[in-house]
Amino acid sequence: MSFSMFRLCGFQILLVIHLAMCQNFGNLHLTGPLKDMNFSVPEGSGVRLIYQFTAEPPAVSFRATGEKDGLLDIVPKTGVLYLNGSLDWETKTKYSLQVESLDEEGQRVKGPYTIIVFVEDINDNPPEFDQLKYTGVVRQNSRPGKPFMYVHATDRDDPSTPHAQLTYSILHHFPNPYSQMLFQINNVTGAISPSMTGSYYLDPQKQDTFTLVVTVKDMAGLTMNAFTSSADVIITVKESLWKAPPTIHIQENSTRDHPVNISQVHSNEPDAIYELFVKEQLPRLPFSVNQNGVIYVTEPLDREKKDTYLFFVIAKDKEGELVDKPLQISVIVEDINDNPPVCQKALTVLEVQENEDAGNYIGTVSATDMDQKDTLNSRLQFKIESQVPAVPANDLFFIQQDTGILQLISRSLNKRIASSYSLKVLVTDAVFQTICDVQIHVIDINDQIPIFEKSDYQNVTVAEDLPVGTVILEIQATDADEPLTGSSYIVYEVKEGDPNKTFIIETDPETNRGFIKINKALDFETAQVYNLVIHATNPEPLVPGVQYNSSSITVFKVFLTNVDEPPVFSREAYTAEAFENIPVNTLVMTVEAYDPEGDTVRYSLEGDVKKWLRIDSSTGKIYTASLLDREQKQAYEVQVVASESNNVAQKSKATFVINLKDVNDNPPRLATNGALFFCHPLSGGERTLIQATDDDEQMFYSTFTFSLKDDTDTRNNWEISKINSTHAYLSPKHTNFDEKVYNVPVIINDNGRPPLEGEINLEVNVCKCSSEKSCFIAVQRERSWPSAGQAIGILLGVLLLIGCIIASVFFHMKYKEKDQKKSHQEDAKDQAELHSLAK
């Protein structure tokens, strides 16, 4: 003790020494009869008195045994229990002594009593990390907040006090290329996880090692004099395991035991749950995935039914939330030769003239194979198996092996010997074979040409707006060859005057009458007259020496008449795509119409109910007229009208559809608007379900996060806990709520791009409940202004209250003053007493 202390407290020291000698402290707290007692002494406090036991006759002295440890003892004569040295909580937290009182002869009078001295912890130990350096591995694109490693520190101080309450933080982050840290640490558990930014930007190609300096503070980090230690954390970034496999090739019609492993995916999260997801409509997806991410094909595939599959693997956690972006799996089904050739017709009927020459083309046998085109699996070969009858020879016909083209081998057919032959043509691919039946009729020679009834059909006048398909003229030629054969059938063809095939001619096979039809829309403005030259021919070749001459040709003219037509749009429908947030006056489309008669065209819009668009009447450019909103209408359709400026009645319309693409422009909100309430008084454990939604387009992995606004009231009263990506529970943190409506500010974030935050002021009614578990609604009492008498009463009441407050403050201050004096005295007494003991 310093000299000045002595001087300062001189009077008290003398007093205390005296009192100690007289076996009395004169202080009720520090002296008393011997009995079981407990004391609490702060560690490291040094030499001091603890207590004085008063001797009750015939006892004259005291004896202490037990865990004195050279630090605690009792002065036999005075009964003073003292501490000679410093205690250390970390070494021993309590000392147990047995104390008895003795008489003159040293015989026990009372006791032994158990005296326990508890050591009070003071914060004298800094926290220590259990390693100087930690290493960890994180995968690219890991989920934000998902720990990939932990640091841990211990503090030797009493864990039940703030002295050992540790809080972790990241002090440095090397390198730190972004405005936000790539990693975060849980201040309580020491769990290190990627931050939002980290989840997005971590990339081993760019930076594969990071060093974090993490610190740990005791006193929950709340005071300036908390102890701090730090450690290095070396983090290696590895490539994401979650990668789509290359395109998978599966041979169709497999005979292996199914399911067959075709690939395997790995989530970055070890306990992810895998699922498959298909966008297209399929009766059944012949694939499955197991819990190790192994993808199986579950049955033999058939390329001829479906030759490619596209689906997604998704990885979810136990709460059903996606932990990674969906991976696209594409499967190509490979062909095997599992389809036989098929004849195109059950019976192919051909004709050949008696006198035809060797090598003449007769016809083609057609067959198909469903196996993959342009592979050996669908390569077909043809061969004549048999010919019935085999007269005058058995090999009258030849078939080209790879084309199926039938030719005549020699000039040997005679209708009187055989008027018809049946061939069996064998069609083979590498594995399968099929027989196609062919019948060949021997017909008369084609020695007559078609002769037109008229060589000039003169003039035909038609309106330009006659519909396609209209017959504008019938023509007739005759052929004297054998009826109903290729020698007499007449094929009419426009040989000249119609470069664009505006007309076609069909033949009635019975009568050989020709019908000239409009094949394409006529247009006076393009062509006003057609000079047509028509040829009539037979499908069978003419015998040598006979030729088509001018009797097989006819001509006529087609005159078009003009009709005033409305403007014509370049397209029937126009579509555009735009983001819903494009500014007003953005050009979204240019439509174009022209008037066949060359009049100027004016444009206008019809059906623009939302007044979102405007059109430039002369250029056809369509601009936005106001802000668009996908949530009101995703595909906005209007009619564009084009009219002749000289005759507005002549108009035509086209549709214009603008498809709005979503922009995350709606903050999340609560889905339910029903009143939330809790029954008063609360009994604890109450909670209520809340659901978030968003008007923006909901991707199939949309996720909301819930939190409460960080203000003291809300933090102390309410708690929000997430259930899954759309739901959470709101629960009161305690039961001490008044009967009233509380405003709970809830914050919901979406995962759109850009992410948006919605703050919702949730009104929660804490109310008396009626039996049906709903608020009991009392009839409202009428409110009115107080009368003059009431007002005076209130005023007096307020004055009285103020008086009371002033009085109590005054009283309190006095009391405190006294208290402080008392504690000063006690400290001094302890010190003096020790000195007297040491003597």
Ligand X SMILES: *[C@@H]1O[C@H](CO)[C@@H](O)[C@H](O)[C@H]1NC(C)=O
For residue 206, which phi and psi values (nearest 5 degrees)?
-90, -45
- Tokens representing 529 are 């007259």
Within 10 angstroms of residue 803's Cβ, the number of other Cβ atoms is 10
Q: Considering only 13-21, 225-233, 341-349, 549-557, which stretch makes contact with ligand X by CB under 6 A?
A: 549-557
**CA diameter of the chain:** 167
CB of 186 to ligand X, least distance (A): 7
Q: How many residues bind ligand X (CB under 6 A)?
A: 37
DSSP letter (8 states) at residue 305: T
**246: contact with ligand X by CB under 6 A:** no
List 15, 109, 116, 491, residue binding ligand X (CB under 6 A): 116
Q: Which of 401, 383, 393, 402 is nearest to 358 (CA)?
A: 393
Q: Is the dihedral of CA 575, 579, 585, 587 positive or negative?
A: negative
Which CB, 328 or 586, lies closer to ligand X?
328
Considering only 274-282, 341-349, 699-707, 724-732, which stretch makes contact with ligand X by CB under 6 A?
724-732
Interface with ligand X by CB under 6 A: which range of 258-266, 393-401, 577-585, 730-738? 258-266
Q: Which of 57, 499, 583, 598 binds ligand X (CB under 6 A)?
A: 499
Query: x/- string (CB under 6 A) for ligand X, residues 12-51?
Result: ------------------------xxx-------------
472 binds ligand X (CB under 6 A): no
> What's the rounded Cα separation, in Å, for the pair 537 and 546?
12
The correct pick among 27, 84, 288, 562 for binding ligand X (CB under 6 A) is 84
| Distance of alpha carbon 829 from alpha carbon 5, whole angstroms | 12
Q: Is 93 in the site for ligand X (CB under 6 A)?
A: no
Q: Does 670 bind ligand X (CB under 6 A)?
A: no
CB 217 → ligand X: shortest distance, Å? 8
Q: Does 507 bind ligand X (CB under 6 A)?
A: no
The CA distance from 165 to 561, in Å, is 100
Q: Which stretch binds ligand X (CB under 6 A): 136-144, 255-263, 280-288, 795-803?
A: 255-263
Q: Which tokens hold the place of 246?
A: 């290359």
Alpha-carbon separation of residue 275 from 141, 312, 315, 316, 541 (angstroms): 19, 8, 6, 8, 67
Residues 694-723 within binding reach of ligand X (CB under 6 A): 723
By C-beta, is 264 or 386 nearer to ligand X? Answer: 264
- Say if CB 759 and CB 749 are below 8 A apart: no
Half-sphere exposure of 623 (CA within 13 A, CB side): 11
The CA distance from 533 to 553, in Å, is 7
- Within 8 A by CB and 6+ apart from 533, the residues are 494, 495, 496, 497, 553, 554, 555
Q: Does residue 267 contact residue 324 with C-beta atoms inside 8 Å?
A: yes
Region binding ligand X by CB under 6 A among candidate stretches 3-11, 149-157, 419-427, 546-554: 546-554
Residues 384-443 that bind ligand X (CB under 6 A): none
Q: Which of 527, 555, 582, 682 binds ligand X (CB under 6 A)?
A: 527
Position among 26, 46, 58, 320 found at the interface with ligand X (CB under 6 A):
320
Tell me how crowded residue 477 is: count the other CB atoms within 10 A of its CB.
24
Please tell me whether residue 482 binds ligand X under the rule CB under 6 A. Answer: no
The answer, yes or no, to whether the previous bond of 392 is cis (omega within 30 of 0) is yes
Cα–Cα nearest to 744, from 721, 719, 763: 763
Q: Check residue 187 for interaction with ligand X (CB under 6 A).
A: yes
Position among 31, 101, 125, 263 found at the interface with ligand X (CB under 6 A) = 263
Nearer CB in complex with ligand X: 129/603: 129
Instruction: Determine whether 130 is exposed, middle or buried from the number of CB atoms within 10 Å of its CB (0-12, 13-18, 19+).
Output: exposed
* Binding-site member from 458, 673, 736, 787 for ligand X (CB under 6 A): 458
Question: From the CB of 526, what's the least distance to ligand X, in Å?
Answer: 5
Check binding of 160 to ligand X (CB under 6 A): no
Prior bond to 57 cis, omega within 30? Answer: no
CB 384 within 8 A of CB 474: no
> Candidates 371-379, 498-506, 534-542, 673-681 — which segment interacts with ligand X by CB under 6 A?
498-506
Binding flag, residue 298, ligand X (CB under 6 A): no
Binder of ligand X out of 45, 135, 247, 264 (CB under 6 A): 264
Kindly state the smallest distance separating residue 828's Cβ from ligand X, in Å.
20
- Does position 585 interact with ligand X (CB under 6 A)? The reply is no
Task: Determine the Cα–Cα distance for residues 239 and 74; give it in Å rounded to an integer.
Answer: 70
The CB-of-614 to ligand X minimum distance in angstroms stands at: 34
> What are the C-alpha distances in Å from 322 to residues 92, 427, 458?
52, 55, 78
| Nearest-5° Cα angle at 346, 341 to 351 | 115
Minimum distance from CB of 528 to ligand X (Å)?
Answer: 10
Does residue 496 interact with ligand X by CB under 6 A? no
| Lookup result for tokens 């003449």 | 360
Smallest gap from residue 559 Cβ to ligand X (A): 7
* 3-class secondary-structure state, position 378: helix
Q: Does 549 bind ligand X (CB under 6 A)?
A: yes
Q: Does residue 551 touch ligand X according to CB under 6 A?
A: yes
Half-sphere exposure at residue 486, Cβ-oriented, CA atoms within 13 angstroms: 18
Considering only residues 277 through 296, tell me which ones interact with ligand X, judged by CB under 6 A. Answer: 294
Residues that bind ligand X (CB under 6 A): 36-38, 73, 84, 116, 167, 187, 220-221, 253, 261-264, 294, 302, 320, 338, 449, 458-459, 499-500, 502, 526-527, 549-551, 723-727, 837-838
